[in-house]
Structure 1
């Protein structure tokens, strides 16, 4: 078995965002952003490049925050301090 990986390279185990060939200041989609978030910046293509996956996570986060705000508002209305 022939292995051509250079394990001595500091870029191999470091964060993907600090690699020289990462992005070159191009915009990334939501799936890449969520992939970077979930992997701790190690990989930007774990969730595939399908924009619907990023939209799903963004919608879930927005829905949770809005429902938390609405429930706090309703509870404060019913049981005032």
Structure 2
């Protein structure tokens, strides 16, 4: 079996954010890439590339949980 995969080993050990081809100055990372880096601790940036809605869903979920927490503390702080 012959493969054309020739990726230097020094780039396979470290996180993806330290690879030279990642995030050049003229491009920005997407929401999906940001969440992928968060959940994989910087090891992979294409975990959520299968679905474009996954990054927005996680962002809105985080926002909803934060707003609910702030409102809960504000409204029920006098109960204790």
- Specify the TM-score bucket, using the shorter chain as the normaliser: 0.7 to 0.9
Instruction: Out of 68-77 and 44-53, give the one that drifted further.
Output: 44-53
Unaligned runs of 5+ in 2: none
How far 1:74 moved relative to its partner? 1.1
Root mean square deviation, CA, Å: 2.1
Quote the residue 1:76 is aligned against: 77
Q: TM-score, normalised by structure 1?
A: 0.81
Quote the residue 1:24 is aligned against: 24
Q: Structure 1: which 4+ aligned runs deviate by more than 3 Å?
A: 1-8
Unaligned runs of 5+ in 1: none
Give the length in aligned residue pairs: 79
Deviations 1:19-72 (A, max 9, x none): 011121211110100000000001100111643211100000000010011111
How far 1:5 moved relative to its partner? 5.7
Cα distance in 2 for residues equivalent to 1:55 and 1:67: 18
